[in-house]
Amino acid sequence: MFFIIRSGRIAGLIRRGTLVALLLMAAACETGPPVQEMSDARQAIAVAREAGAEESAAADLQQAEAYLSSAEKKLAERAYAQARSDAMQAKEKALAALAVAERTDEQR
C-alpha cells in the first residue's frame, strides 16, 4: 500500500515536472529573436519593390519599411516579442503593396 501511494506521488511529480519543462521550452521558443519573421519581411519588401510598388503603392511600401525599421530597433534592444510583431506587420504591408502593384501592372 505504501508503494502505491508513493508511486502516485512520484507520478504526479513527474507529470508536473514534464508540464513545467514543456512550458519553459515553449516560452523560450517565443522569446527568441524573430529571425524568420525579419527575413520574411525583408523579402516581401524586396519583391514589392521589384513589382513596382514604389510607384503604385508608395504609402503601403513606406509603412512596411517603417515597420521593418522599428522591428530592427526593437531587435537590437532585445524586445523580441515587439520586434516579431513589427516584422509581421511589415510583411503584411509589403504584401498589400505587392498586390496593388500587381493589379496596377495588369491594368496597363
In the block, residue with C-alpha cell 491594368: 107
Residue spans of the domains in the chain: they are 1-31, 33-107
Q: Is residue 11 predicted with pLDDT exceeding 70?
A: no
pTM over the 0.85 mark: no
Rounded to the nearest 10°, the torsion over CA 91, 93, 96, 101 is -100
Read off φ and ψ for residue 77, nearest 5 degrees.
-85, 0
Among 17-21, 39-43, 103-107, the range with the most confident prediction by mean pLDDT is 39-43
> Between residues 29 and 43, which one has the greater pLDDT?
43
